[in-house]
C-alpha cells in the first residue's frame, strides 16, 4: 500500500515540479528579453535575440537543462549565436552554504578574496639583454594606477619596452589610459564609449603623467587569445596610432562595456550596454580581436619580441649619436647646425645615454683634435642645457678665447664666477683664477 502511495505521489508531483521549473526558466528568459530591449547596445540585435528565444521557448528547448548552471550556459550560448558578443552572458545563482562541513570565518573569507584580487595587476618588471625593459601586466586594476609612475621611472633608461598582456583579461580602464599617456602625447583621443540608453559618447584622452614620457622608445605588446577587454583597448589604441608593435595571437575580441543586472531566481544578466569607438579607425575589436603585427603562438611571443626589441633598441640608442657625429664632422657649423647639436645632446642626456660630465669631456675631445667649431657647438649646448652650471660657462669661455671671441668669452667667465658664488661652489677659486687670467691677457 505504501509503495502505491509513493508511486501516486511521484506521478502527481513530478509534473508539477517540472512545470514549476519550466515557469521559472521562462520567467528568467522574459526578464532577459525585457532588459535586452532596454539596455543592449544594438537594439536591432536585441530584437533578433528575443525572436530567437521565443522560438526556443515554443520548442521547449531549455527543458532539457535541469541544473541552473546548464540552463545559464545554454541560454548564454543561444544569445551569443545571434550577437557574436562574448560579453553577453547569464550567470547562474551562486551556490549557498548547505551547513555541512566547517564554515570559513569572515576573516579567512576576506583574506582569501584579498589575495585573489592582488594576484592580478603588475607582475614581473625586469631588464633583458640589449637594455630591453619588460613589464608583465596580468590585469588592469584601478588600484595599480599608483604603481605606474615608479615603474616607468625604473624603466626610464630602457632602449625598448615590452608590455606582456598574454594573461591579461582586462579590468578597469584608468590604468590603461594612464600607462598609454607615457607613450603618446598629451590629450590624444583614445577609444571612447557610446551608450545607447543615454545616447551619449564618453570620450577619453591621454593625461598628464608625473614621470618622463617615452614618446619614441620602441614599444612591443604581447597578446594571446586570453587578452581581453581593457587589455585589448590598451593594445588597440597604441596600434591604431602606429605607436606599438603587437606580437602574439589574435586577442579575445571583447570591446564593449557591460552592466550586471539581477534576474529572477538569483540569476544575473551580464549585458553589453555601450560600444567602444576608436577615433582613428572609427570602429573597434569586437568579435575580431586585436590583430597582431607579428603573428606567433602565445608561447613563442616573448622570444620573438626579444629579437625584435634588441634590434629596435640598438637603432634607438645609436641613431642620435650618428646624427650628432655627422653634424660635428662639418668644417664649419651654421646656427641651424648648432641648434641641432643642442637638441641631439638634450635627447641623448634625457635618455640617460650620456651623463652631464660627459658633455664637457666630449667638447674637449673635439678641441684636442683641432675641431674648434665642433667643440664650440658642444660646449655652447652645455650652457643652454645647464644654464646654472658654473663649469659649463667656464669651459665654453675657454674655447671662445681660443677662437678669438673675447667679448663673448668674458661674459661667460663672469657668469661662471657669479654662479659659483651664488651656489658656494667649491671650485669658485678656480673660476676666479681663470677670469683674472683672461683679463690679464686682454
In sequence order, the β-bridge partners of residue 195 are 200, 274
176 and 228 inside one domain: yes
The CATH number of whichever domain residue 303 belongs to comes to 3.90.226.10
Identify whether 296 is part of a domain: yes
118 and 223 inside one domain: yes
Closest CA to 232 of 252, 218, 214: 252
Burial of 128 (0-12, 13-18, 19+ CB in 10 A): middle
306 and 391 inside one domain: no
Identify whether 280 is part of a domain: no
What confidence tens digit (pLDDT) does each residue in 203-262 have? Answer: 999 999 999 999 999 999 999 999 999 999 999 999 999 999 999 999 999 888 889 999
| Whole-number CA gyration radius for the chain | 33
What confidence tens digit (pLDDT) does each residue in 63-74 have? Answer: 889 899 999 999
Q: Could you give phi then psi for residue 93, rounded to 5 degrees?
A: -60, 145
158 and 210 inside one domain: yes
Signed CA dihedral, 254, 258, 263, 268: sign only: positive
Identify whether 62 is part of a domain: yes
Q: Quick one: pLDDT at residue 417?
A: 96
**What's the CA gap between 134 and 372, in Å, rounded?**
43
Identify whether 431 is part of a domain: yes
Identify whether 107 is part of a domain: no
- H or E segment and range at residue 27: helix 2-39
The CATH number of whichever domain residue 425 belongs to comes to 1.25.40.10
Residues 6+ away with beta carbon under 8 Å from 300: none
168 and 305 inside one domain: yes
190 and 296 inside one domain: yes
What confidence tens digit (pLDDT) does each residue in 33-88 have? Answer: 999 999 999 999 999 999 999 999 999 999 889 899 999 999 999 999 999 888 89
Q: Quick one: pLDDT at residue 408?
A: 96
141 and 229 inside one domain: yes
249 and 361 inside one domain: no
Parts of the chain with a pLDDT under 50? 8-10, 12-14, 16-19
125 and 248 inside one domain: yes
Q: Quick one: pLDDT at residue 21?
A: 55
Q: Could you give phi then psi for residue 68, rounded to 5 degrees?
A: -65, -35
295 and 386 inside one domain: no
304 and 422 inside one domain: no
Identify whether 96 is part of a domain: no
225 and 122 inside one domain: yes
Contact assessment for residue 37 and residue 273, using Cβ atoms and an 8 Å cutoff: no
Contact assessment for residue 194 and residue 277, using Cβ atoms and an 8 Å cutoff: yes
- Give the residue numbers spanning the domain of 389: 329-441
Looking at the structure of the chain, the number of domains it has is 3
Amino acid at each position: 500500500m505504501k509503495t502505491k502511495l509513493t508511486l501516486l505521489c511521484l506521478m502527481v508531483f513530478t509534473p508539477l515540479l517540472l512545470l514549476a521549473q519550466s515557469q521559472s526558466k521562462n520567467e528568467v528568459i522574459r526578464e532577459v528579453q525585457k532588459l535586452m530591449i532596454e539596455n543592449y547596445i544594438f537594439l536591432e540585435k536585441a530584437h533578433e535575440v528575443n525572436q530567437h528565444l521565443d522560438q526556443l521557448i515554443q520548442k521547449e528547448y531549455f527543458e532539457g537543462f535541469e541544473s541552473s548552471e546548464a540552463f545559464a550556459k545554454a541560454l548564454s550560448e543561444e544569445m551569443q549565436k545571434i550577437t557574436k558578443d562574448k560579453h553577453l552572458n547569464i550567470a547562474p545563482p551562486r551556490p549557498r552554504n548547505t551547513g555541512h562541513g566547517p564554515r570559513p570565518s569572515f576573516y579567512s573569507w576576506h583574506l582569501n578574496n584579498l589575495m585573489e584580487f592582488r594576484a592580478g595587476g603588475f607582475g614581473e618588471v625586469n631588464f633583458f639583454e640589449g637594455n630591453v625593459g619588460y613589464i608583465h601586466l596580468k590585469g588592469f586594476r584601478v588600484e595599480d594606477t599608483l604603481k605606474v609612475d615608479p615603474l616607468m621611472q625604473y624603466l626610464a633608461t630602457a632602449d625598448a619596452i615590452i608590455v606582456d598582456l598574454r594573461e591579461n583579461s582586462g579590468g578597469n580602464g584608468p590604468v590603461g589610459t594612464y600607462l598609454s599617456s607615457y607613450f603618446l602625447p598629451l590629450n590624444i583621443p583614445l577609444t571612447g564609449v557610446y551608450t545607447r540608453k543615454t545616447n551619449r559618447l564618453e570620450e577619453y584622452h591621454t593625461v598628464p603623467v608625473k614621470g618622463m614620457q617615452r614618446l619614441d622608445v620602441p614599444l612591443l605588446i604581447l597578446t594571446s587569445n586570453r587578452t581581453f577587454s581593457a587589455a585589448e583597448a590598451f593594445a588597440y589604441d597604441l596600434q591604431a596610432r602606429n605607436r606599438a608593435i603587437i606580437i602574439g595571437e589574435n586577442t579575445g575580441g571583447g570591446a564593449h562595456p557591460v552592466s550586471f543586472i539581477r534576474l529572477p531566481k538569483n540569476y544575473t544578466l551580464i549585458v553589453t550596454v555601450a560600444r567602444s569607438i576608436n577615433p582613428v579607425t572609427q570602429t573597434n575589436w569586437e568579435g575580431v580581436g586585436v590583430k597582431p603585427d607579428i603573428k606567433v603562438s602565445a608561447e613563442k611571443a616573448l622570444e620573438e619580441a626579444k629579437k625584435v626589441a634588441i634590434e629596435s633598441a640598438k637603432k634607438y640608442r645609436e641613431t642620435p649619436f650618428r646624427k650628432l657625429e655627422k653634424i660635428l664632422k662639418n668644417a664649419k657649423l651654421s646656427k641651424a647646425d648648432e641648434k641641432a647639436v643642442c637638441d641631439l645632446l638634450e635627447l641623448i642626456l634625457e635618455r640617460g645615454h650620456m651623463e652631464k660630465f660627459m658633455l664637457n669631456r666630449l667638447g674637449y675631445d673635439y678641441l684636442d683634435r683641432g675641431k674648434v667649431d665642433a667643440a664650440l657647438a658642444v660646449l655652447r649646448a652645455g650652457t643652454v642645457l645647464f644654464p646654472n652650471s658654473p663649469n659649463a660657462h667656464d669651459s665654453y669661455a675657454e674655447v671662445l678665447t681660443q677662437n678669438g671671441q673675447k667679448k663673448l668669452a668674458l661674459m661667460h667667465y663672469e657668469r661662471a664666477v657669479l654662479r659659483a658664488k651664488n651656489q658656494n661652489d667649491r671650485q669658485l677659486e678656480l673660476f676666479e683664477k681663470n677670469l683674472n687670467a683672461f683679463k690679464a691677457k686682454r
